[in-house]
Amino acid sequence: MIEEQKHYKFFNNETDNVICYISVPTDKLRGKEVLESTRLRLAIENGIYIGSIYYIEDIGRETEK
Protein backbone atom coordinates (compact mmCIF):
# COMPACT_ATOMS: atom_id res chain seq x y z
CA MET A 1 0.00 0.00 0.00
CA ILE A 2 1.31 3.46 -0.92
CA GLU A 3 1.47 5.93 1.95
CA GLU A 4 -0.09 9.38 1.41
CA GLN A 5 2.50 12.11 1.01
CA LYS A 6 2.67 15.89 0.84
CA HIS A 7 5.15 17.74 -1.35
CA TYR A 8 7.22 20.69 -0.17
CA LYS A 9 9.62 23.25 -1.63
CA PHE A 10 12.53 24.66 0.35
CA PHE A 11 13.61 28.22 -0.41
CA ASN A 12 16.63 30.35 0.37
CA ASN A 13 15.01 33.50 1.78
CA GLU A 14 17.96 35.68 0.76
CA THR A 15 17.78 34.76 -2.94
CA ASP A 16 14.21 33.40 -3.22
CA ASN A 17 15.63 30.40 -5.08
CA VAL A 18 14.21 26.91 -4.61
CA ILE A 19 16.97 24.75 -3.16
CA CYS A 20 15.15 21.46 -2.64
CA TYR A 21 11.94 19.53 -3.31
CA ILE A 22 10.85 16.81 -0.90
CA SER A 23 7.89 14.49 -0.31
CA VAL A 24 7.02 13.54 3.25
CA PRO A 25 4.37 11.33 4.85
CA THR A 26 1.14 13.04 5.87
CA ASP A 27 1.72 11.83 9.46
CA LYS A 28 2.07 15.21 11.23
CA LEU A 29 4.69 14.20 13.79
CA ARG A 30 6.93 12.30 11.40
CA GLY A 31 6.41 14.82 8.61
CA LYS A 32 7.40 17.79 10.78
CA GLU A 33 10.50 15.92 11.95
CA VAL A 34 11.55 15.18 8.36
CA LEU A 35 10.97 18.80 7.29
CA GLU A 36 13.01 20.27 10.13
CA SER A 37 15.88 17.79 9.74
CA THR A 38 15.95 18.51 5.99
CA ARG A 39 16.03 22.25 6.70
CA LEU A 40 18.99 21.77 9.05
CA ARG A 41 20.80 19.50 6.56
CA LEU A 42 20.33 22.02 3.74
CA ALA A 43 21.70 24.84 5.92
CA ILE A 44 24.81 22.83 6.79
CA GLU A 45 25.44 21.50 3.28
CA ASN A 46 25.01 24.88 1.61
CA GLY A 47 26.57 27.09 4.29
CA ILE A 48 23.33 29.04 4.69
CA TYR A 49 22.01 30.49 7.95
CA ILE A 50 19.15 28.19 9.01
CA GLY A 51 16.86 31.19 9.51
CA SER A 52 17.18 31.91 5.79
CA ILE A 53 15.65 28.59 4.78
CA TYR A 54 11.89 28.10 4.74
CA TYR A 55 9.51 25.63 3.18
CA ILE A 56 5.98 25.68 1.80
CA GLU A 57 3.64 22.97 0.66
CA ASP A 58 3.86 22.49 -3.10
CA ILE A 59 0.18 22.10 -3.98
CA GLY A 60 0.81 22.06 -7.73
CA ARG A 61 2.70 18.75 -7.72
CA GLU A 62 0.67 15.59 -8.17
CA THR A 63 1.56 12.12 -6.94
CA GLU A 64 2.10 9.43 -9.54
CA LYS A 65 -0.36 6.59 -9.21
Q: What is the 3-state secondary structure (H, E, C) of 16-58?
A: CEEEEEEEEECCHHHHHHHHHHHHHHHHHHHCCCHHHEEEEEC
Average pLDDT over residues 33-52: 95
What would the pLDDT profile of 52-63 be if each residue is shown by its tens digit? 999 999 987 555
Q: Which residue has the higher pLDDT, 29 or 48?
A: 48
**For residues 25-49, average pLDDT:** 90
| CB burial of residue 34 (10 Å; 0-12, 13-18, 19+) | middle
pLDDT at 42 over 50: yes
Single out the residue of 27, 33, 35, 39 nearest to residue 57, CA to CA.
35
The whole-number pLDDT of residue 65 equals 46
Cα separation, 12 vs 28, in Å, equals 24
